A = this chain, B = another copy of it.
Amino acid sequence: MRALDWNGRNLEFESAYRAPVAAGQIALVKVHLAGICSTDLQILNGYMGFTGVPGHEFVGNVVEGPQEIIGKRVVGEINFGCGRCDSCARGLSRHCPKRTVMGILNADGAFAECVSVPLANLHVVPEWVSDEEAVFTEPLAATFEILEQIQINPGDEIVVLGDGKLGALCAQVMHLASAHVTIVGKHEHNLRLIKQAGIRALPLEGWRLKQFDIVVEATGSASGLELALSAVRPRGTLVLKSTIAENHRVSLAPLVINEITVICSRCGLFPPALDALREKRISVAPLIEKIYPLHDGIEAVSHAARPGTRKILLKP
């Protein structure tokens, strides 16, 4: 089949990549759309030492597997747990120590015609959610996770740092829980889009730093992290959403002195995200910048890597 293949040095379009298989509890999904996210870009810089087909944001339809789901339009959770350990037993297969992760760790991903996914990971997409919306389920789920992890009190002042794809989703999700959300970013166009969702959006340049009850770090940069540390009030909450792969110098002393609670949040469960998309509570379509055919995947990736780029999708 056709796929993008990362061999650890180069990303290449292969027209005869090994086809994934369906077997037992594994379904084969024909990919309609796949999203390129920052983690993919990090992987193409060596993160996780991954090789194979990247990509973990997708929507498609089941072409092989048990009869009752053949033809269903699905999205899929990306962590494939062993199903037998303590983590899996607690419903935390996304923390299973033996897990593989689609397009990230020992499992081929969705930048391909087809991807194989355990049945337990699949969620059927409601019919009034378009492919262009459904492909955002995974990053949106990761954002809804914040609402499970922290309690937002009425009147809490919240700031989201970073106006990229992740920031835009975070701001909208936080806005569901609080009327006092501000997003601060560098990209005028992105800020304008977020403002259309009724959220206060300010350019970083000229922003007068103030302190917030809750700060969501969604810049993915070391300087963003520094800013986040300055923007959280004593006894406030700092939410770290972006996996900043590089090491950087951070003094944790201010966290202790100001008694900050730091919540780290990565993957979430899909149902709240699919519900929000079905009910049109979150607007994702404006976040799409461009859809590339799979065979232009290398160009698509380099487009996605430009600062301020919104979501780039691949269509196999």
Contact = CB atoms under 8 A, between A and B. Distances in A.
A246 interface: yes
A225 B253 CA distance: 12
B264 A234 contact: no
Interface string A230-264: 00001100001111111111111101111111111
A119 interface: no
A241, A244, A258, A262 pick with most chain B CB within 10 angstroms: A262
A280 interface: no
A221 interface: no
A106 interface: no
A95 interface: yes
Contact of A256 (B95, B259, B265): B265
A252 B225 contact: yes
A266 B257 contact: yes
Contacts of A251: 244-248
A309 interface: no
A149 interface: yes
B259 A262 contact: no
A87 interface: yes
Contact of A263 (B87, B240, B261): B261
